[in-house]
Chain A
Amino acid sequence: MARISYRKAINQALEQEMARDPNVILMGIDVGGGSGGSGDVGSVGGVMGVTKGLYPRFGPDRVIDTPISESAIIGAAAGAAVTGMRPVAELMFVDFLGVCLDQIYNQAAKFRYMFGGKARTPLVIRTMGGAGMRAGAQHSQMLHPILTMIPGLKVVMPSSPYDAKGLLIRAIRDDDPVVFLESKALYDMKGEVPEEAYEIPFGEANWLREGPDATIVAFGAMVPRAMQAADALAKDGVRVTVLDPRTTSPLDEDAILESVEDTGRLIVVDESPPRCSLAADVAALAASRAFGALKAPVGMVTCPHTPVPFAPNLEDAYMPSVERIVAAVQATL
């Protein structure tokens, strides 16, 4: 099986779904690769090169370069979706949520409910987030908690190339609006990915490792860090379970509760400030539904309640580190 990058896995999912279904279109800033200039269109494929090669293959009607107008991008994608297309709109950085949130949460996410079940909005919003790129406060956040709390949306946080491809194909085939939140720290991560198309269902956690001593729940780019922490803990004889819920909405509550019932110890790793985070959400889940099983307070490894800082040492300190995860697990033992 080929080992390809997270970036390539996303590209492959888009290409295969576009080839399979003519209703699938891409739209966003530079997704085609810089239309209207005097050079080659399609030589780039987005600022991260994720959509590279799709414009040359599918052309300007299906890989649509747009103006820098996030509300119009997301709104037009939602309008196209509710009238029969399957658009994949790119919101370049999730930080730009602020300039298009109305079209996401007031429009696309509410259509079906407001309209009494008569609308279908098969919209995918691909976006990237996360710190570690020295990109400063307005290009480095993870805003999954804001998105997760919106009824009508589904929120996906792929943590590996294999998951990225299968979850994106699932997202494109899904009939509800889905935010596909890519971790830009993972674009170069490599892993085995089947050449064929496949789907990974939403709401099913991935059990990356099973151990009896504690349960680490981690999301997105925090998953590889949790695995490194698990390796480090194993050297001291501590065997932990690592769960990646894969989607924050729907959330695989059963898997988390099942594991907590087994281990009695829960540590949540979330790249987000602590308040109203997924860490808080999962901790509340355990407290309200597995309280009797808990042998120690829930460990929450999060970012501080600050914007993402710029200076490299500050940014590194902002992120949940392997050491902090290890320490949080040890604190529960």
Chain B
Amino acid sequence: MQLSRDDLKRAYTAMFTIRAFEERVEKEFADGTIPGFAHVYLGQEASGVGVCFDLTDDDWIGSTHRGHGHCIAKGCEIEGMFLEIMGREGGICGGKGGSMHIADMDKGMLGANAIVGGSPPLAVGAALTQKLRGTDRVAVAFSGDGASNQGTTLEAMNMAVILKVPMIFVFENNGYGEFTASDYSVGAASLADRAAAFGMPAQTVDGADFFAVHAAMRDALEHARSGRGPYTLETRCSRFLGHFVGDPQKYRGPEELAEARANDPISRFRDRVGEAALLDMAELDEIESAVRARVDAAAAAAREAPMPSLATLETDVYVKY
């Protein structure tokens, strides 16, 4: 299960693109170019990229309100994402979706979802399509620890088991549902334990370790694609920032925040490939500067882009009405 040098570069490119993208979102938000609010994925890059690494455009993911990282990991173009997040013409959703509703059917991205627990039932359906058509594709539902307490999520887990669909429930446990800690809100030692109650195999992994997430996901994919039904992964993550950009995070102590920053998935990836001499640091630096340049250009272009035409206000409500 050795990753090639190209695989490693691809993984690092994806992770660092998320990092640079979200840092830019933070800055743009402060500049007032992003309407509404934004939830960034900083600190969780290894989880999304590790889960999506072996998926193709024909596999489906359902995402969350904190969905930028999932979009990038699944292959959405950041140029269209910046336009979308700024509410501009040419955005992935024509400026009608925004940060919490980015979807790209061509990339198997079923949508970020602003309803906590919104995606799991939908992903069951996407997996059902694969089962009925006899493909070897899967569906993934990303949820947070918050969504693990939603009835929709629990209904979906049971339904997926009953229907034996090829699906993976990924719980990115970043320790907080909005401002409330999962230690307080989740009545179980781990989210993986909950899966067991549904008769579903599960693993809990270090969500800051790309290699651990990727290895666990390979187990999950093998299980799902072999017709044995759904699988659960709990990736333990840390949120660098608060619930939304600008959240002062009074509910987290300073030590905890420092620990989160110290457990940086990007640094850990660099350290790991460096120690094992899999890639040169210069190669990683090269990736970083290319990514930064692309992100800067995409953001700058989005800032200059026109708003959507008013003529689009009432279009695309229906295919035909």
Contacts and interface: CB of A to CB of B under 8 A. Distances in A.
Q: Establish whether A and B are touching in the complex (CB under 8 Å).
A: yes
Interface of A: 25, 61-62, 64, 66-67, 69, 71-85, 87, 102-103, 106-107, 111-120, 151-152, 154, 174-176, 203, 250
B230 interface: no
Contact of A83 (B94, B97, B129, B315): B129
Sorting the interface of chain B by its residue count into under 10, 10 to 19, 20 to 34 or 35 or more gives: 35 or more
A79 B96 contact: no
Contacts of B113: 107
Contacts of A112: 316-319
Interface in B303-317: 315-317
Contact of A102 (B115, B123, B319): B115
Nearest to B137: A83
B159 A72 contact: yes
B124 A76 contact: yes
A250 B139 CA distance: 34
B115 A106 contact: yes
A82 B110 contact: yes
Given A71-B151, A114-B103, A79 B93 contact: no
B250 interface: no
Which residue, of A75, A79, A115, has the highest number of chain B Cβ atoms within 10 A? A79
Given A76-B159, A79-B110, A115 B132 contact: no
Interface in B43-101: 60, 62, 91-97, 101
A110 B307 CA distance: 21
Interface in B91-122: 91-97, 101, 103-106, 110-111, 113-115, 118, 120-122
B111 A76 contact: no
A35 to B, nearest CB: 9
Contacts of A120: 319
B155 interface: yes
A114 B110 contact: no
A79 B97 contact: no
Interface of B: 60, 62, 91-97, 101, 103-106, 110-111, 113-115, 118, 120-129, 131-133, 139, 151-152, 155-156, 158-159, 162-163, 315-321
A102 B152 contact: yes
A74 B118 contact: no
Contact of A75 (B131, B156, B163, B318): B156
A72 B124 contact: yes
Given A61-B132, A81-B125, A85-B132, A117 B94 contact: yes
B158 A69 contact: yes
A227 B240 CA distance: 67
A116 B101 CA distance: 10
A73 B316 CA distance: 25
B320 A175 contact: yes
Contacts of B62: 79
8 contacts: A61-B132, A69-B158, A79-B122, A79-B124, A103-B118, A103-B122, A103-B152, A106-B118
Contacts of A25: 132
Contact of B121 (A71, A152, A175): A71
Given A61-B131, A83-B60, A85-B129, 13 more contacts: A64-B163, A66-B159, A67-B155, A71-B152, A75-B124, A82-B110, A84-B133, A113-B96, A114-B111, A115-B105, A176-B318, A176-B319, A176-B321
Given A64-B163, A75-B121, A76-B125, A119 B105 contact: yes
